Amino acid sequence: MARKNKVILLLIICIMFTVGFSKLLSTPKTVYRVYLKGESLGLITSKQKLEKYIDKKQAEVKEKYNVNKVYAPTDLDIVKEVTYYDDVSTIKEIYEKIKDISPFTIDGYQVKIKGIDTTDSNGKTVKGKNQYIYVIDKKIFTEAIDNTVKAFIDEKDYEAFANNTQKEIKDTGTIIENIYIENKITIKKDHIPINKTIYMDKSTLSQYLLFGTTKPQQTYTVKDGDTIDDIAFNNKISTEEFLIANPDLISTSSLLYTGQVVTIGLLKPQVNVVEWDHIVKDEEQNYTTRTEEDPNEYTTYSEVKQAGVKGLNRVTQKLQIINGQTTSVVPVDTEQLKAPVEEVIVKGTKQISSGYYGGGYGSVIPTKGIFGWPATCSTISSGFGWRWGTLHDGTDIAGCGYGSNIFAAESGVVVQSGYKYDNGQFITIQHDNGYFTMYAHLCNGCRYVNVGDRVRKGQVIGGMGQTGFATGVHLHFGVWTGYPYRGGTALNAMAFY
């Protein structure tokens, strides 16, 4: 029995040796192993046949994107092999495996937009996020970028800058010194997976670059009595955003009609369009007032001894504007064209008067309302209102220079004098008329009053700076009913001037 088993085993070994030897004697075959995501899908006889089969079966893709060829997925690798075995798959079998795992590709362009680091409300740096945009034709992206720039910059001004035909400033005026995209952008030709969003026209891509989405924007039907300012504010967008979303309306004074449908689009620009302007303008300089005391007259006596006359300054500034918002005002020069004449008032002092606190004459900027102007310059870099979905609850005044004087808008008591991550160095005053005013982004070491101090209208209380969440040297000036950020309501300060 044992001998019989040995014979059978010997026969099996002989058969295996014979089959293996015959394989060794056969002609080796050149085949191709297909890998997808690093995993083998099998062997095929021809790489070109698989590529042609993919192109043939994806006719709908070619029609959809108007391309001539469809390619294999980007993560597909085909490697040549030599084998003696016949375990080769059909082209169809491999194709069916591929289409269920990875998307096929077409010729196009990959656009990389490098993210820009920002600062959050807590003062921490937020790393910019890179994003990728895919287009069939490079021209689609360049034209969409051009449309985006023109959304934030007047088209005539943009064309004059681009063609170097801007008029020189003779006395006063504005010229654009530079326009650029702050983000680094790289474009490369590539095979684009068809499961990506691939833009085929500039209008759709332009909408995405402005609003961060291609979905239809919210609309509003104009009612009787509506103004552009009211519609924008009530829908929590700035007037600039409203005008960009409705390019047929060229300014806030454009006429609206009842029943008109307008777009309420919250801008979320995907790139930063930066504009640098050179501005020369004339600003009135208010005269100061000096009071002379006459002990021989009663306190009710007051007479103008010398009438005040306003002066005139020619101011040169450089403005940085990002996506339609002024982010920095840099003072360059101030030329005095006409000196102001001091006003002199004689007042009687026969009885003791009260209510005088501190010294100084206050701002030289003329005002018509109940409040005095809080700064030495009058350029408003950003007004009160909604911008980028957030309420800007004050008025930004810029161009005065670092450390320039900040004045109390009205007499009152200092209720806050300290530092906060967003406001930086700031002061809050509770006034005798019931209002509160806030002065934020003061320079370090530039808070000249403390909590509990009594200040008078026009008293120097601080210096302009860039502390806290600020993109440039400026004063954030706020007017409130009720305590700021403690149940109070922010008001438009310009309504008081």
Domain boundaries, the chain: 23-102, 118-165+182-264, 273-354, 358-497
Among 135, 158, 132, CA closest to 146: 158
Cα 313 to Cα 135, 339, 364, 490, distances in angstroms: 52, 8, 12, 33
Same fold yes or no, 273-354 and 358-497: no
313 in helix, strand or coil?
strand
Phi, psi (rounded to 5 degrees) for 420: -140, 145
Fold classification of 273-354 is: Resuscitation-promoting factor rpfb fold (2.20.230)
Banded model confidence at residue 492, pLDDT cuts 50, 70, 90:
very high
Among 148, 252, 289, CA closest to 206: 148
By CB neighbour count within 10 A (0-12 exposed, 13-18 middle, 19+ buried), where does 412 fall? Answer: buried
**Rounded distance, CA 280 to CA 442, Å?**
26
Pairing of strands 385-387, 118-119: unpaired
Among 140, 145, 172, CA closest to 158: 145
**Rounded distance, CA 370 to CA 349, Å?**
26
Four-point Cα dihedral 83, 88, 91, 93, nearest 10: -140
Q: Where is average pLDDT lowest: 23-37, 372-386, 397-411?
A: 23-37
243 in helix, strand or coil?
helix
- For residue range 124-139, list pLDDT tens digits in order: 788 989 999 999 999 9
Among 363, 322, 355, 350, CA closest to 475: 363
Question: Chain centroid to CA 59: how far?
Answer: 41
367 in helix, strand or coil?
coil
Mean pLDDT, rounded, for 351-368: 46
**Rounded distance, CA 439 to CA 461, Å?**
9
**Rounded distance, CA 362 to CA 376, Å?**
9
pLDDT at 5: 56
Q: Tell me the average pLDDT of the chain.
A: 87
Residue recorded with tokens 């820009």: 116
Higher pLDDT, 102 or 365: 102
Kindly provide the b/e burial profile for residues 304-341, where b requires at least 16 CB atoms within 10 angstroms of the residue's own CB.
eeeebeebebebbbebbbbbbbbbbbebeeeeeeeebe
- For residue range 275-286, list pLDDT tens digits in order: 999 999 998 887
- Give the architecture (CATH level 2) of 358-497: Distorted Sandwich (2.70)
Q: At what angle do helices 47-57 and 91-99 cross, to 10 degrees?
A: 60
pLDDT at 171 over 70: yes
- For residue range 398-451, list pLDDT tens digits in order: 988 889 999 999 999 999 999 998 899 999 999 988 899 999 999 999 999 999
Residue type, 289: T
| DSSP character at residue 196 | S
| Beta carbons within 8 Å of 332's beta carbon, 6+ residues apart | 316, 317, 318
Residue 367, token pair as written in the block: 């005002």
Mean pLDDT, rounded, for 486-492: 90
**Rounded distance, CA 415 to CA 92, Å?**
79
User: Whole-prediction pTM value?
Assistant: 0.71
Banded model confidence at residue 256, pLDDT cuts 50, 70, 90:
very high
Instruction: Give the bridge partners for 341, in sequence order.
Output: 309
pLDDT at 357: 35
318 in helix, strand or coil?
strand
Mean pLDDT, rounded, for 473-490: 92
Fold classification of 118-165+182-264 is: Membrane-bound Lytic Murein Transglycosylase D; Chain A (3.10.350)
